[in-house]
């Protein structure tokens, strides 16, 4: 089969690989589609510390089961599934605190196990046994279902930020995750959702999302946010832009007692911020992080997507067959769209 294989930082090639073998304790899937993640773009540029080459990458997938190991219970051939792709150890201090997404010993499909930019994917026995495989309801389309993993990361972040119905939520950075954050905040009952983006064509793509106020980031964002929030500032700001200036500015965009979530990570060695500690102190701000997600978040994401409350069609802007994988990566790198979905098994138009 043809697969997108990571060989070294910046070097991903489409090569022939043997199909994964069925075993008594695994599942094999025909991959229906798999979205390109920011992590894949990192692999295509600077690499990733945890990815062991050579590796088939791709972890935001939905697939149809073609083989169920004799020792596997609860699944049938023909069912569609996605997966919480982080396999936690279950024993470290973080797993024991219920923070499996921070597990120090975790393995991941698409980084340490072969992933889904290939027509056939093997779900490793540990993933099957630990409840990481999640069924897709009939009502949920393939392409929307492959957003479950990125959406799950947004769910983890908004849980930590404590978003409540009626909140005014500001998303800074209108890439695919920013768009999903905006959709999620609406679904969680936010009264007003604003998103800041600097460049086209993302500005125009974001304007298609319903009930999301798109703010042009090249203008005076502080003034605009104040005007939209009775001069108070947003209840919560979620920074999805992997750059210093928006992370530093965010504390000035939230109200007293507000929350800033640093959702996007900055590159290693360039992650120091200059923050006005008086603003944090006197305005009682909370600055929180968020990284990855747990299986419970992926389950919630599937439910939310199936409920139709997330505009998946508005978030997916590009589709390519696997043979045009590198074009998909270029679209992401050049910020020409929002989410890019790859179809490894069948043609897509």
Binding site for Zn ion (CB under 5 A): 37, 88-89, 92, 95, 103
Least spacing, CB of residue 46 vs Zn ion, in Å: 16
Q: How far is the C-alpha of 336 from the C-alpha of 26, rounded, in Å?
A: 38
Cα–chain center distance at 6: 20
Least spacing, CB of residue 283 vs Zn ion, in Å: 33
Structure tokens at 191: 């009264």
Q: How far is the C-alpha of 341 from the C-alpha of 178, rounded, in Å?
A: 17
Cβ closer to Zn ion: 215 or 338?
338
- β strands within the chain, DSSP E: 2-8, 11-16, 27-35, 55-56, 60-68, 80-83, 86-87, 107-108, 120-123, 133-135, 168-172, 192-197, 213-216, 234-239, 254-262, 286-289, 316-321, 339-343
Which residue is associated with the tokens 């983890």?
A: 156
Cβ closer to Zn ion: 89 or 348?
89
Say whether 37 sits in a helix, a strand or coil. coil
Least spacing, CB of residue 78 vs Zn ion, in Å: 26
Q: Which residues contact 201 (CB under 8 A, 6 or more apart)?
A: 336, 337
Least spacing, CB of residue 94 vs Zn ion, in Å: 5
Cβ closer to Zn ion: 37 or 187?
37
Which residue is associated with the tokens 């897709």?
A: 136
Least spacing, CB of residue 34 vs Zn ion, in Å: 10
Least spacing, CB of residue 58 vs Zn ion, in Å: 9
Cβ closer to Zn ion: 150 or 258?
150
Q: How far is the C-alpha of 111 from the C-alpha of 287, rounded, in Å?
A: 29
Which residue is associated with the tokens 């500032």?
A: 233
Cβ closer to Zn ion: 111 or 213?
111
Least spacing, CB of residue 89 vs Zn ion, in Å: 4
Q: How far is the C-alpha of 123 from the C-alpha of 329, rounded, in Å?
A: 24
Cβ closer to Zn ion: 22 or 47?
47
Q: Are 188 and 165 in contact (CB under 8 A)?
A: yes
Least spacing, CB of residue 91 vs Zn ion, in Å: 6
Cβ closer to Zn ion: 34 or 37?
37
Cβ closer to Zn ion: 106 or 212?
106
Structure tokens at 30: 């025909």
């Amino acid at each position: 089969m043809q697969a997108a294989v990571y060989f070294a930082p910046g070097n991903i090639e489409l090569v022939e690989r043997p199909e994964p073998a069925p075993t008594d304790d695994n599942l094999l899937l025909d991959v229906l589609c798999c979205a390109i993640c920011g992590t894949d773009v990192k692999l295509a540029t600077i690499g990733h510390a945890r990815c062991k080459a050579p590796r088939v990458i791709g972890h935001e997938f939905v697939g149809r089961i073609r083989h169920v190991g004799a020792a596997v219970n609860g699944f049938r051939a023909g069912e569609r599934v996605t997966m919480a792709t982080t396999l936690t150890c279950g024993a470290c201090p973080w797993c024991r605190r219920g923070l499996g997404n921070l597990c120090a010993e975790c393995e991941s499909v698409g980084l340490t196990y072969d992933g889904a930019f290939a027509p056939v994917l093997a779900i490793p026995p540990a993933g099957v046994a630990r409840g990481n495989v999640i069924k897709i309801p009939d009502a949920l389309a393939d392409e929307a279902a492959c957003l479950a993993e990125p959406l799950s990361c947004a769910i983890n972040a908004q849980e930590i930020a404590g978003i409540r119905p009626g909140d005014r939520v500001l998303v800074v950075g209108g890439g695919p995750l920013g768009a999903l954050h905006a959709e999620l905040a609406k679904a969680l009952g936010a009264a007003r959702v604003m998103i800041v983006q600097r460049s086209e064509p993302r500005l125009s793509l974001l304007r298609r999302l319903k009930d999301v106020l798109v703010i042009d980031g090249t203008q005076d964002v502080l003034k605009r946010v104040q005007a939209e929030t009775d001069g108070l500032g947003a209840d919560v700001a979620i920074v999805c832009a992997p750059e210093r200036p928006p992370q530093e500015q965010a504390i000035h965009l939230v109200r007293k007692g507000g929350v800033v979530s640093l959702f996007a990570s900055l590159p290693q060695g360039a992650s120091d911020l200059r923050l006005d500690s008086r603003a944090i102190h006197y305005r009682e701000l909370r600055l929180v992080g968020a990284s990855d997600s747990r299986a419970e978040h992926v389950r919630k994401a599937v439910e939310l997507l199936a409920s139709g409350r997330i505009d998946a069609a508005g978030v997916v802007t590009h589709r390519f067959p696997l043979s045009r994988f590198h074009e998909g990566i270029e679209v992401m790198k050049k910020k020409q769209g929002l989410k890019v979905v790859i179809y490894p098994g069948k043609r897509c138009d």
